[in-house]
Copies of this chain bind each other. A is one copy, B any other.
Amino acid sequence: SVNPDLAIERQTASFSVEKLTAWLDGGAEHTRMRRAVVDAIECDPVFSRENQYFESQNERYEAAVRKAVHLQKKMQDMGWTVNGPEYKYIYRAVSGDIAFLLHRIFMRSISVLGSDKQVAKWIPLATQYQLIGSYAQTELGHGTYLQGLETTAVFDITTQEFILNTPKISAMKWWPGDMGRSATHSLVFGQLYIHGKCYGVHPFIVQIRSLQDHSLCPGIIAGDIGPKMNFEHTDNGYLMLQNVRIPRENMLNKFCEVQPDGTYVRQGSQQINYFTMTTVRVSIIADEVIIPLMKACTIAIRYSVVRRQSKLKPGEQEAKILDYQTQQEKLLPQLAAAYAFHFIYNYLQELFDKGYREIQTKNFSTLPEHSAFFFFFFKKNSSGFKAMITQNCTSAVEICLRACGGHGYSSLSGLPSLYTKILGSCIYEGENTILLLQTARFLIKCFMATSAGQPVPPSVTYLAAVKSRKCPAKNKLDFLSPDIYTEAYQHVAVRLISSTAAKLQDLMQSGVKKHDAWNQCTVQLAQAAKAHCHYITVKNFAETVEKLETKAGIQKIMKHLCDLFALHGIFSNAGAFLHDGYISGAQMDMVTASYLDLLPVIRKDAVPLVDAFDFTDKSLNSALGSYDGQVYQRLYEWAQKSPTNKQMSPAYEKYLKPLLHNMLSKL
């Protein structure tokens, strides 16, 4: 039975939850398909996550391999294929606790970077799991700065082989998933040397474990890197190479080839080598960042209408904690952010799909200039969004966790694992500060170009536009106008980009060397990049709401969320808007008033708004967040299953009993 405090929240929804779900899914037919996939996975006991919070790292790994292997069978049984429309729902349905994800990256890299012959050889083997691949790029000493990788691959012309080595400890591969215990092969990135000359980083297919008995191959030292903040199910590994010889054909050579005589031939840009990373960077945003935030919001908001604590008025019943302004102010902006990031992800995905299709149909070297530029633009621009979204979603999940008090701190709430996992997204696939600075560099270039009257991509033409220098809002209701707040965000982005560009020029004109000047501006450059991404996100949210005009019920609540997202950003980053007086102190008070006024409005629909994310109880795996709201009962039932309650601890016989043994005689 549903907890009555939660049930009542669902009776007063201002919109159809089912319609909102369908819209978020991109149509009711997608909702049906998603649910079918989720049902098929969740009714299969092999995919159960029931004991996940109780398992050791070894147990988690074993379960992840079991699920990955079983998934192959399941896909055959269900008629799902890797390129089929169901595929994207499968990973979500198993909630990420599955092995061989790097195997997919291994395959994708070969598809993109391998010659037709290499693709023809390796992809069928990998597809049928006749080998298990990994992707060995990161080293102990080098992450984001790929040019610094220290692994070497020396071409031996006499044997037509590459000799791979880990010349020092910092060159050891470290972190690659699926490599610590599972992989038989790995795509190893190392510095190519021919006749003593270094040609930079290239990818090599290296067998690391025997196909017979899984023992390590000669010259290979490999293992698991041990416990991490999360991802216990993944065997992130280390790999040391000692004079490992591989045939010349094992260097992926669609774009760069070493010919038998040692001649190095490059076709197209080196940039393409990093393309796989960019595609990964985009795809993780939905599954690893936005979905987890939606889950955290669902858990925290459902719990906050079941939990009653203290009284709003003396003599009354204790209040639902979501009725406190402070709780609303914690959770509802995070809910709005989940929607905002869902929409900006759609925007990025569309932009990317369009460009990717173009690149795939043509040889990179023959791409028209605008496509090459698109690729560059997309990479630089998406970097900043990856940083902004992961950073904001991570903070948001932490807020959700803390908003649930002590029970949020219990693993059984599901929130600790959501948090520790999403935190990783700020680090992997490009450290966020470095990504922001990539976008900042792009923005500064565009700003310079536009100042010089040169054309720039559509999303940054705003840098050239001359706008008013004062916000025209006259009362708090004016701040519910998307034109008003979008322009405020735009103004701040332009101001931060232009003032940092000016500082950069001033420094250089005063004699500071270019690189020092850049370093001295990086704190402000990162801020400018964030402001740009925030502006685009607000603008995209507002445009998404505007396009919704036929779906009245949904549009109204989405408009509220858009307003909340925008005003929360101004409220919590007030300095940027007040700095040059674009928004005055009096106007900031209006922003604050409008912002706080929105909270009780959205609060009424808070539960339907998270219900619309349509997570099953199994998918949330949370004692606090289930659809029925029976939180205390479920915490109690789940706790009893803990290994800590399965046995009398040896600590009793060993330590407690001897300690207490005198007690009886004295009491």
Contacts and interface: CB of A to CB of B under 8 A. Distances in A.
A167 interface: no
Contacts of A526: 326
A431 B405 contact: yes
Contacts of A226: 53-54, 410-412, 638-639, 641-642, 644-645
A54 B58 CA distance: 11
Given A575-B588, A642-B227, A433 B326 contact: yes
Interface string A409-424: 1111000100110011
Interface string A646-665: 01111110111111101110
State which size class the interface on A falls in. 35 or more
A227 B326 contact: no
Interface stretch (A4-12, A265-273, A579-587): A579-587
Contacts of A647: 58
Given A145-B309, A420-B416, A667-B211, A184 B326 contact: no
Q: Interface on chain A toward B: helix, strand, loop, or mixed SS? A: helix
Interface in A162-177: 169-170, 172, 174-175
Interface of A: 53-54, 56-58, 61-62, 65-66, 68-69, 72, 125, 128-132, 138, 140-145, 148, 169-170, 172, 174-175, 180-182, 184, 211-212, 214, 223-229, 235, 238, 307-310, 312-314, 318, 323-327, 329-330, 398, 401-402, 405-406, 408-412, 416, 419-420, 423-424, 426-428, 431-434, 437, 513, 515-516, 519-524, 526, 573-581, 585, 588, 592, 596, 632-633, 635-636, 638-645, 647-652, 654-660, 662-664, 666-667
A238 B635 CA distance: 11
Contact of A644 (B57, B579, B592): B57
A144 B309 contact: yes
Contacts of A182: 651, 656
25 contacts: A57-B643, A65-B651, A66-B651, A125-B663, A125-B666, A130-B667, A140-B632, A141-B307, A143-B309, A148-B309, A148-B310, A169-B632, A181-B651, A211-B667, A226-B641, A227-B642, A313-B513, A323-B519, A325-B520, A325-B521, A326-B433, A398-B423, A402-B426, A574-B575, A578-B585
Contacts of A416: 228-229, 420
B412 A523 contact: no
Given A68-B655, A145-B310, 11 more contacts: A58-B643, A125-B667, A181-B649, A223-B639, A223-B645, A224-B639, A227-B410, A235-B644, A325-B522, A325-B523, A402-B427
